[in-house]
Amino acid sequence: MAFTPRGLEASFFEVLDQHRAFLLAALKRGGEEPAGGGMSLASSSEVLSSIEKIIQDIVTSLARNEAPAFTIDNRSSWENIKFEDSVGLHMVSHCTTRKIKSDSPKSVKNFALILKILSMIYKLVQSNTYATKRDIYYTDSQLFGNQTVVDNIINDISCMLKVPRRSLHILSTSKGLIAGDLKYLEEDGTKVNCTRATAIAVPSNIQGIQNLITDAKFLLIVEKDATFQRLLDDNFCNKMSPCIMVTGKGVPDLNTRLLVKKLWDTFHIPAFTLVDADPHGIEIMCIYKYGSMAMSFEAHNLTVPAIRWLGLLPSDIKRLNIPKGTLIPLTKRDQMKLDSILKRPYITCQPFWRKEMEIMADSKMKAEIQALTFLSSDYLSRVYLPNKLKFGGWI
Amino acid sequence: MIFKEDCGFFELCPFQILKYLIIYQRCETAGVSKGALLEGQLVISIEALNSKHQANTLHCVTTIAAAGSIYGGLVLKKLLEDMQSVLPGFFANLNWTSEEAGHSQDASGLRPFQMIFEADVKPRTLMTDSLVIKNFLRKIITVPPKIRFNFSVKVNGILSVEIFGAESEPALNLSNGIALVVNCQHYLSTPKFDTTELPCSRIHPVLGHPVMLFIPDDVVGMGLLGELTLTPAVALCPCPKVFSNQLNRISSISIFLYGPSGLPLIFPNSEQPTTAVFKDASYFIDWKKYRLSMVPNLDLSLDSGSVLPDVSYQVESGEGDQSHNMGPQGQTVLLFLFVDFHRGFPGQKMELWGVHTLLSAHLRAILRESHSVVQGCIQAAVAWALEQHRQAVKAHQKLQASLSVAVDSIMSIMTGSTNSSFRKTCLQTLQAADTQEFGTKLHKSFQEVTQHRFLYHCSHEVKQQLLPERNEAEQNTDKAHENGSLELLAGTGEQTENKRLKRGSLGVEETRASRSAGALSPSEAASRRAEPTAAPLTFSRSRTGPGSGLEDAGPSCSHKAALHQCPGGVKSLAPLRATLEGTYRHPGTSLLTLMGFRLEGIFPAALLPLLLTMILFLGPLMQLSMDCPCDLADGLKVVLAPRSWARCLTDMRWLRNQVIAPLTEELVFRACMLPMLAPCTGLGPAVFTCPLFFGVAHFHHIFEQLRFRQSSVGSIFLSAAFQFSYTAVFGAYTAFLFIRTGHLIGPVLCHSFCNYMGFPAVCAALEHPQRRPLLAGYALGVGLFLLLLQPLTDPKLYGSLPLCVLLERAGDSEAPLCS
C-alpha cells in the first residue's frame, strides 16, 4: 500500500531508516561493484559452444585412446572456500578439482549421467525452452534413480561450465513464499501483487521478473513456514506496512535466495532474519547471508551480506524470561553443528553472533520461535518484532 | 639305472616313480630357501617297437631321465632302496656306465640320472597309459613344482613330443603355501576360446577357510597321524568377465583333489572306491540354492588338452534349452580341494609316501566322517565365488548401460548441433565418414578404453578386486590455467551483472527518463531554465523601453517592406523588428498571445494535442500497462496518492524531465523561435526549420559522452545522429501543434508526456510475450494519429491564431496550416 501505514507513526521507522542509510553508505564505501568474479547470465550460444567443447574434448581423448573424464571443482571442502565480508563464501580461484572418470566402475555411471543431462540441456538451450529439475528426473527416472542425483549433477554442470543454472534452461519449482508490499511483472507478462492476504510462491524465474515496485521499509526473512503463516494470520504485513516477508521453508532453495538477493540489489532495503534460536536456524541464516559451501561457485548472485539477525536471539530467551520448560536441550548433533559453525570463517567478523552462540552453547538450550507464544499468543507479531524493529534490536 | 620290469602293473610304475621323485624333490626343497629352488627338466620317453616275441604286442622301453640339476643331491643307491621298499616286487639293476657317462657330461658335478623300464604291452594299453601319464603331468603342473616335463612317445619310429611346464606362468599363491596356476587355458577343455582373444585369460580363485578333517578311528590306527586340513579354492572358468555382458549360467563343475605337497590324490583311471563319495553331486554343495541340478559327468575323455578333473558334474539338461543357455558356452566351476597336514610335511619322505597312499585309500572315509564341515566350507567358498561372479556381471552390465547412455548423449548433441564446424571436427577426430560410423566408432573406442581399465582390474589378485576404487575422487590441484580463464570470464560477467543491477535499481521511471530525448544533467537544466526567463525580459524591454537596439534599427520601415525583404536573408533584423512592431501595433496579436500564452480555447488546446499524442503512443502505452505489475485500480491509487506526488515533486530528475525541460524547451524553440521564423520562411518551412535548432541543441550530449568515454566514438555519434533525427521529428510535431493551436500549453504537455514515455521501445515490443496485440496497438496508434492529426488540430477549435493573423496581415495568406 502506498498510503501511510495505519497505526504506525512515522518515528517508528526512524531506526530502520538510519540502518538503511548506514547500509547504503557501507555499500558506497565498498564500491558500487563488489570485487571478485561472479557468473553472468551466459548467452545461449555460449552455453552451446561450451557444451560442444566438452564433447569435443571427450571425442579427442577417445581418439587418443585415453579414457575421457570430467574435471569439476571440488565443492565439498572448506579449503576451496574463501570468505569475504562483502560477498560471503565464494570459491577460491585456484581450487582443487575432482575427476569423474569414465573408466572406473564407480564413477562411470555418474559420467554417463552428466553426459545425458548435458545433452538434455543442449536441446533445451537450442530450442529455447525450459525444464524443471523434476522434469529432467522424470525423463528417465529409472536411470537417474532419485532426484538428488539429478540435482547434484546439475550443480556440477553449472560449476563445470561456469554458468548459472538459469542459463542452462533448468528451473526448479520454488518452495519459498513471499508476501507484503511488492509488485512485479513476471517474464511472461503476468502481473503479481503480493499485497494480498495469502502468500505468493516465489517465482521460478527470478532473473526474468522485472518492474519491481515496493515501498517496503524492510524485508523479513522467516525461517519456517509455520511462523510465516502465523505472522500472515496476525496481519503482520499490514500492521508493519510497508514491509516484505519471505520464507524459504527451511533451508532456502536457489530461487528464494535469488529473490532475496534481487530485492536487496534493487531496493537496498534492510533485510532481517527471524530464525529459531538453534544451530539449524543459525545455519539457515548463514546460508542467506553468506551462502553455502555447495553453491559457493555462484555466491556472487546469491549472498546478501547486509542481512541482519533479528531474532530469536539466544540472549532474548534470558531477557524475556522464557521459562525453562519451553526450551529444548541441545542434542549431540546440535552441539556438533554449533561447534562447526563457530569454526567457520565468517564468524570472526561477527562478534555479536559469536557471543549469542556462546550463550546458547553455555546454556545448552535452544528455543523455537514458537516459544514466544508462551508469553502471549500474538507476542511475536504484536510486541517482539515491532519492538525489535523500532529500537534496532538486530545484530 | 635300468629297471627290468615284468610286473603286471606296468601302468602304475612310472607314476609311482614320478610321484616319488616329486615328493623327494619337494622334501629336498622344503629345507632350501626359495631362491635356491632347483629347477630343470625331467624327460620321460617311451619307445615302443613291435615285439619280436609276441604278436600284437609292443616292446616298450620307458626312460625317465633328469636333465639339468633337479636331483642334485640324489643318491641313486638310496633312491633305489627307498623305491624298493615302497614298491615291493620291483627290482632293478644298476647300470653304472650310464651314470658315469652322465657324470662326465655334466661339468657342474651334479649327476643326471636315468631310469629305464622295459615291458611288453598291448598297443591299447600303451595308448591309455600315455594319456594317463599326460594327465598326471598336467595335473602336477597346475600346482607347479619348478620342473618341466618332456614327454615323448615313439611308436615304431613315429615320435610325438609334448612338454609340460608352467614354471614361467603366473600363479596365485594360496595361503597354504601352494601356488596355483591361474592361466585358464589349463582348465579349458575345448579350444573354443581362443585365449588370445579373451579379455581375461585367468581364473580368479577364491580361497575358502581351511577346515580340520576328522580322521576316523580305523584310519588313525593305520598310521595317519597329525591334523589333516582341507582347503577349498573355487574359481570360475573362463573368467566371468568374458561373458559378463550376459548373465551366464554355470554348466559344469570340476573337482580337483590334491594331497599333501600339492600332489594329485586320485588317479582318474583307477577304479578306486574314493570316487564313490562324489557320485552324489550334491554331496558338497547344495545346488538347489542356485536352482541348478547337477548330475555326474561321465563323459570325460582322457584325450583333452586340459587337466582332467577328478570328479566332474554337469548341469542336468532341463527342457531342451541346453542349446543356447548352457552347452559349451557355460561356465565351469573349478573346485580345488587341498588336503594337507596342518603343519607341513610329517617329516620323512617315506612317511609322506605312505600317507599319500593311505590318503588315497581312505579319503572317502575321511570325507564322509567330516561331511558337514567340509560341506559348509565348500559351500561358503562357492557362494563367494558365485557372488563375485554376480557382482562382476552386474558391474559390467552397469558399465555397458552407462556407456550406451554416454554414447547416445554424445550422439544426440552431435546430430542435434547446428554448428557444422563442431560436427566436422568430431567426425574428423574419430575419422568417421558419417554420423552412423561416428556412433559405432565412438561406442567401440569407449568400450576399448574402459575395457582396458577393466582388464587392469581383472589381472589383480582376488582380494584387491574387492577393494573399493580409491583414485576415483582424485584430487587435482594443478588447474592454474583453467582458473585463469575463469577469472577473466568472471570479471567480465561481473561488469555486465552490475550494469544490469544498476538499471534495475533505478526503477521504472528512471529508465524511461534516460531514454527520453531531453535527459539533462541538473546543471544544464538550470542553465536552460535561465535562458527563457532572460528572453522574455528582453522582449518586453524592446517593446516598451527606449534605447533598445531593435527599436532603433528602423522604425520607419513598414511591415510589408520588411516582409518582402525576408527571402533575401534572415541576416537582417528588419523583419523581426517589423514583426515585433506589428504585434505591438495590433493589440489582438500581442507578444504574449503570439508566444502562445492566451486563454482563448485553452482547454481544447491542453487536452486535444495531448490526446493526439497519446493516440500516437497507443502501442507504448499498452506496453506500459502490460509491464506494470499493478493493475488499474492499484495504479490509480498510486497515481492519486499524495505521497507519490510528493515523491515526484521532490525528485529533481522528475522535475527536470517532466516540468522544467518541456516548459523551457518549448518556450525557446516554439514560443520564441516560431513567431520570428514564420514571417521569414513562411509557416510550412518554419515547422521544419525550427526543430533543426531543437535537434542541434541536443548535440551537447556528445561532448559529455566523449569526455567520459562511455562508449566508442562511432556509437556516440550514431546515437547523437539518431537523437537529432527523432528530436527533429518531435520538434516538427510540436511546432506544428504550436502553429495549429496557437497555444504553448499543448506542446508543453505533449513534450512532458513524451519525455515520460521516452522513445517507443520497439525492440522490447517485438520480443514481448504479448507481441501481437502490442504490435497491433502500435499500428493502430499510428494510423489513428495520421487520421486525426488534421481534425484534432483544426485551428477553428482554438479561436483565432495569433501567428496566422500576423501572417495574414503581412499579406501571406497562402499558409495552409492556418485553416
Residues 259-318, chain A: which have Cβ within 8 Å of B? 262, 265-268, 300-301
| Domain identity same for A59 and A155 | yes
Confidence label for B684 from pLDDT (cuts 50, 70 and 90): confident
Taking only the tens place, the pLDDT of each residue in B637-656 is 777 777 778 878 888 888 88
pLDDT classification of A280: cutoffs 50, 70, 90: very high
Q: In whole angstroms, how far apart are CA B452 and each of A62, A66, A345? A: 13, 10, 45
Cα B577 from chain centre: 85
Q: Are A181 and A297 found together in one domain?
A: yes
Greater model confidence, B170 or B14: B170
What pLDDT score was predicted for residue B368?
74
pLDDT surpassing 70 at residue B203? yes
| Rg of chain B (C-alpha set) | 57
Q: Which of A114, A148, A171 is the last residue of a domain?
A: A171
Sign of the CA dihedral with B547 first, then B549, B551, and B552 last: positive
Terminal CA-CA length for chain B: 148
Percent of chain B with pLDDT over 90: 3
pLDDT at residue B783 is higher than 90: yes
pLDDT in the model for residue B815 = 58
B586: left (phi over 0), alpha (psi -120 to 50) or beta: beta
**CATH at A207:** 3.40.1360.10
In a domain, A315, yes or no: yes
Calpha distance B578→B554 (Å, rounded): 9
Q: Best interface-test mutation with A: which of B486, B622, B625 has the largest number of A CBs within 10 A?
A: B486
Counted residue by residue, chain A has a size of 395
Asked if the model's pLDDT at residue B758 lies above 90, the reply is no
Q: Do A110 and A205 fall within a single domain? A: no
Highest mean pLDDT among B147-161, B287-301, B487-501: B147-161
Which of A80, A115, A158 to mutate: most B Cβ within 10 Å?
A115
Interchain contact A111–B (C-beta under 8 A): yes
Query: What is the predicted ipTM?
Result: 0.75
Nearest to B172 by CA among B465, B413, B529: B465
Q: pLDDT tens digits, residue range B456-478? A: 444 333 333 333 333 333 333 33
Is the bond preceding residue B238 a cis peptide, omega within 30 degrees?
yes
The residue annotated as part of the active site, out of B11, B47, B581, B665, is: B665
Range of weakest confidence among A125-129, A329-333, B42-46: B42-46
Domain shared by A197 and A156, yes or no: no
Per-residue pLDDT, averaged over B302-321, amounts to 63
Is residue B335 helix, strand or coil? strand
Cα(B445)–Cα(B412) distance, rounded to whole angstroms? 18
* Residue A110 located in a structural domain: yes
Indicate whether A162 and A76 sit together in one domain. yes
Q: How many CB atoms lie within 10 A of CB A377?
A: 12
* Domain-located, residue A265: yes
Query: Taking 50 as the threshold, does the pLDDT of residue B548 lie above it?
Result: no
> Is the pLDDT at A247 greater than 90, yes or no?
yes
Does a structural domain hold residue A29?
no
Check pLDDT > 90 for residue A273: yes
Mean pLDDT across B236-258: 65
Interface residue of A95, A119, A167 to substitute, partner B, most B CBs within 10 Å: A119
Q: Taking a C-beta distance cutoff of 8 angstroms, is the pair A96, A79 a contact?
A: yes
Residue A243 domain-assigned?
A: yes
* Structural domain includes residue A6: no
CB contact under 8 A, A212 and B504: yes
Using the Cβ of A43 and the Cβ atoms of chain B, whether some distance falls under 8 Å is answered with: no
* DSSP assignment letter at B306: S
- The partner residue sitting opposite B398, judged by closest CB among A109, A210, A265, is A109
Instruction: Kindly report the backbone phi and psi dihedral angles of residue B93, in degrees, each rounded to the nearest multiple of 5, phi listed first.
Output: -110, 145
CA distance B442 to chain A (A): 8
* A86/A217 same-domain check: no
Angle made by CA atoms B718, B721, B727, in degrees to the nearest 5:
140
Please say if B342 is a catalytic residue: no
pLDDT band at residue B301 using 50, 70 and 90 as cut-offs: low
- What are the phi and psi torsion angles at B180 (to 5°)? -125, 130
B325's CB contacts (< 8 A; 6+ apart) are B249
Within 10 angstroms of residue B714's Cβ, the number of other Cβ atoms is: 8
Closest listed residue to residue A228, CA positions, set A258, A200, A206, A257: A200
Is residue A228 very low, low, confident or very high in pLDDT (cuts 50, 70, 90)? very high
Domain match, A360 and A384 both: yes
Residues A163 and A185 in one domain: no
Q: Which of A213-222, B235-244, B540-549 has the highest mean pLDDT?
A: A213-222
Name the least confident of A364-368, B143-147, B494-498, B808-812. B494-498
C-alpha cell at A89: 563464501
Identify the helix (H) or strand (E) that includes residue B64. strand B58-68
Of the listed ranges A173-182, A354-363, B647-656, the one predicted with least confidence: B647-656
* Together in a domain, A77 and A122: yes
**Are residues A182 and A262 located together in one domain of the fold?**
yes
Q: How far apart are CA B758 and CA B774, in angstroms?
A: 17
Instruction: Determine the pLDDT at residue A327.
Output: 87
Contact B493 A212 (CB under 8 A): no
Tell me the whole-structure pTM to 2 decimals: 0.61
User: Which residues partner with B92 through β-bridges?
Assistant: B3
How is residue A12 written as a grid cell? Answer: 517508528
Long-range contact pairs involving B542-545 (C-beta distance under 8 Å, separation at least 24): B542/B580, B543/B580, B543/B584, B543/B591
Query: Are A75 and A159 contained in the same domain?
Result: yes
CA distance A190 to chain B (A): 8
Given A153, A171, A189, which residue is the final one in a domain?
A171
CA distance A83 to A89: 5
Average per-residue pLDDT in chain B? 66
Residues A140-158 have a mean pLDDT of 88
Of A332 and B24, the structure prediction assigns the larger pLDDT to: A332
Long-range contacts of the stretch B604-607 (C-beta < 8 A, 24+): B604/B741, B604/B797, B604/B798, B605/B741, B605/B742, B605/B743, B605/B745, B605/B746, B605/B797, B605/B798, B606/B743, B606/B745, B606/B746, B606/B749
Q: How far apart are CA A66 and CA B639, in angstroms?
A: 68
B735: nearest Cα among B657, B658, B668, B807: B668
- State yes or no: pLDDT of B595 exceeds 50: yes
Residue B235: per-residue pLDDT: 79
pLDDT at A302: 86
- Model pLDDT, residue B10: 46
For residue B412, the chain A residue with the least C-alpha distance is A119
Cell triple for B294: 547337477
* Terminal CA-CA length for chain A: 29
Annotated active-site positions of A, please? 138
* Confidence band for A178, pLDDT divided at 50, 70 and 90: very high
Catalytic residue (one of B559, B698, B701, B743): B698
pLDDT score of B105 more than 70: no
pLDDT tens profile B106-117 = 333 444 566 666
Percent of chain A residues topping a pLDDT of 90: 16
Residue B186 catalytic? no
Q: Are A194 and A246 in contact (CB under 8 A)?
A: no
Given CB atoms, is A40 within the 8 Å cutoff of chain B? yes
- Half-sphere CA count of A172, side-chain side, radius 13 A: 19
Smallest Cα–Cα separation from B142: which of B164, B121, B175, B120?
A: B164
Range in B322-331, B426-435, B761-770 the model is least confident about: B322-331
Specify if A336 maps to a domain. Answer: yes
Look at phi and psi of residue B174 and say left if phi exceeds 0, alpha if psi is from -120 to 50, else beta. beta
Most confident stretch, A214-218, B44-48, B216-220, B812-816: A214-218
SS (H, E, C) chain A: CCCCCCCCCHHHHHHHHHHHHHHHHHHHHCCCCCCCCCCCCCCHHHHHHHHHHHHHHHHHHHHCCCCCEEEEECCCCHHHEEEECCCEEEECCCCCEEEEECCCCCCHHHHHHHHHHHHHHHHHHHHCCCEEHHHHHHHCHHHHCCHHHHHHHHHHHHHHHCCCHHHHCEECCCCCEEEECCEEECCCCCEEECCCCCCEECCCCCCCCEEEECCCCEEEEECCHHHHHHHHHCCHHHHCCCEEEEECCCCCCHHHHHHHHHHHHHHCCCEEEECCECHHHHHHHHHHHHCCCCCHHHHHHCCCCCCEEEECCHHHHHHCCCCHHHCEECCHHHHHHHHHHHHCHHHHHCHHHHHHHHHHHHHCEEECHHHHHHCCCCHHHHHHHHHHHHHCCCC
Confidence band, pLDDT 50/70/90 cuts, at residue A219: very high
Pairing of strands A308-311, A271-274: parallel
Q: Which of A147, A171, A195 is the last residue of a domain?
A: A171
Structure confidence at residue A244 (pLDDT):
92
Residue A6 has pLDDT above 60, yes or no: no
| Average pLDDT of span A68-88 | 79
The CA-atom distances, in angstroms, between B512 and each of A215, B504, B624, B756 are 20, 12, 11, 6
Residue A152 sits in which domain range?
Answer: 44-171
Residue B381 burial class via C-beta count within 10 angstroms: exposed 0-12, middle 13-18, buried 19 and up: buried
- pLDDT band at residue B704, thresholds of 50, 70 and 90? confident
For the CA atoms of B3, B6, B11, B12, the dihedral, rounded to the nearest 10 degrees, stands at -60
Q: Determine if residue B811 is left, alpha or beta; phi over 0 gives left, psi from -120 to 50 gives alpha, anything else beta.
A: left
Whether residues A192 and A230 share a domain: the answer is: yes
Q: Is A354 on the interface with B (CB under 8 A)?
A: no
> Can you give the CATH number for the domain in which A142 is found?
1.10.10.10
Cβ atoms of A203 and A171 within 8 Å: the answer is: no
Categorize the per-residue pLDDT at B168 as very low, low, confident or very high, splitting at 50, 70 and 90: low
Number of domains in chain A: 2
Highest mean pLDDT among A341-350, B123-132, B256-265: A341-350
- The band of A2, judged by pLDDT with boundaries at 50, 70 and 90, is very low
- Per this entry, what is the length of chain B? 819
Please list, in sequence order, all residues whose beta carbon lies within 8 angstroms of the beta carbon of residue A346, skipping any fewer than 6 positions away. A83, A85, A88, A89, A286, A289, A290
User: What is B589-646 written as a DSSP string?
Assistant: G-HHHHTT---TTHHHHHHHHHHHHHHHTHHHHHHHHHH-SS-HHHHHHHHH-HHHHH
Confidence category of residue B342, pLDDT binned at 50, 70, 90: low
pLDDT at B265: 67
Does residue A162 form part of some domain? yes
Name which residue leads in pLDDT, B574 or B759: B759
**Pick from A56, A143, A212: which is nearest to B422 by CB?**
A56
Report the C-alpha dihedral over residues A196, A200, A202, A207, rounded to 10 degrees: -50
Find residue B160's DSSP bridge partners.
B153
Please give the pLDDT value at position B535: 38
- Residue B19 confidence (pLDDT) above 70: no
pLDDT of residue B96: 41
Instruction: Read off the pLDDT of residues A293-307 as tens digits, 9 standing for 90 and up.
Output: 888 888 888 888 889
Give the closest residue to A381 by CA, choosing from A267, A233, A263: A233
> In this prediction, what percent of chain B has a pLDDT beyond 70?
51
